[in-house]
């Protein structure tokens, strides 16, 4: 049987229009992501991606602009990792570069495994 998979859901106030990251800050961020990816290369199934702040919301067949949530609840991105237990998934999440961002949180959810 395959190891369980966990989705790391990145939440927080990620976009800062008043202070976009400089090219140097972006390069430092990418170095941290690459180091995390290399350290846990056997466990990171899908490095994931960031999400744009805009989107659509479907509710009861009606589509509206969205998402409409509190800024602290905005999902900014995700990754998928494998681990034998939640505790092991937390070890991987603790070292994720997202944790360095002020106000950021990571929600760790086990995938059911339908697919």
For residues 67 and 9, what is the distance between their CA atoms, to the nearest angstrom? 16
Reply yes or no on whether the pLDDT at 2 is more than 90: no
Q: How many domains does the chain have?
A: 1
Confirm whether 17 is domain-assigned.
no
Confirm whether 25 is domain-assigned.
no
Which is more confident, 53 or 26?
26
Confirm whether 24 is domain-assigned.
no
Contact 75, 9 (CB under 8 A): yes
* Residue span of the structural domain in which 73 resides: 1-11+32-52+64-115
Query: What are residue 76's phi and psi, to 5 degrees?
Result: -95, -15
Query: Pseudo-torsion of CA 95, 100, 103, 109, nearest 10°?
Result: -20
Confirm whether 114 is domain-assigned.
yes
Confirm whether 16 is domain-assigned.
no
Question: Other CB atoms closer than 10 Å to residue 74's CB: what's the count?
Answer: 16
Confirm whether 103 is domain-assigned.
yes
Confirm whether 109 is domain-assigned.
yes
pLDDT band at residue 51 using 50, 70 and 90 as cut-offs: confident
pTM of the model: 0.84
Confirm whether 59 is domain-assigned.
no
Looking at residue 76, which CATH number applies to its domain? 3.30.70.1060
Share of the chain above pLDDT 90, in %: 48
pLDDT tens readout for residues 27-36: 998 999 999 9
Please give the angle made by the CA atoms of 108, 68 and 16, to the nearest 5 degrees: 75
Structure tokens at 112: 């059911």
The listed range with the strongest mean pLDDT (25-34, 48-57, 66-75, 84-93) is 84-93
pLDDT tens readout for residues 65-85: 876 665 556 788 999 999 999
């Amino acid at each position: 049987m395959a190891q369980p998979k966990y989705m790391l859901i990145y939440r927080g106030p990620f976009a800062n229009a008043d202070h976009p990251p400089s090219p140097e800050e972006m390069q430092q961020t990418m170095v941290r992501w690459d180091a995390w990816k290399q350290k846990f290369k056997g466990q990171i199934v899908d490095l994931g991606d960031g999400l744009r702040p805009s989107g659509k919301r479907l509710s009861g067949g009606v589509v509206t602009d969205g998402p409409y949530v509190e800024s602290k609840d905005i999902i900014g991105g995700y990754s998928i990792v494998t681990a034998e237990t939640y505790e092991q998934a937390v070890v991987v999440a603790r070292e994720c570069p997202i944790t360095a961002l002020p106000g950021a949180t990571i929600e760790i959810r086990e995938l059911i495994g339908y697919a």
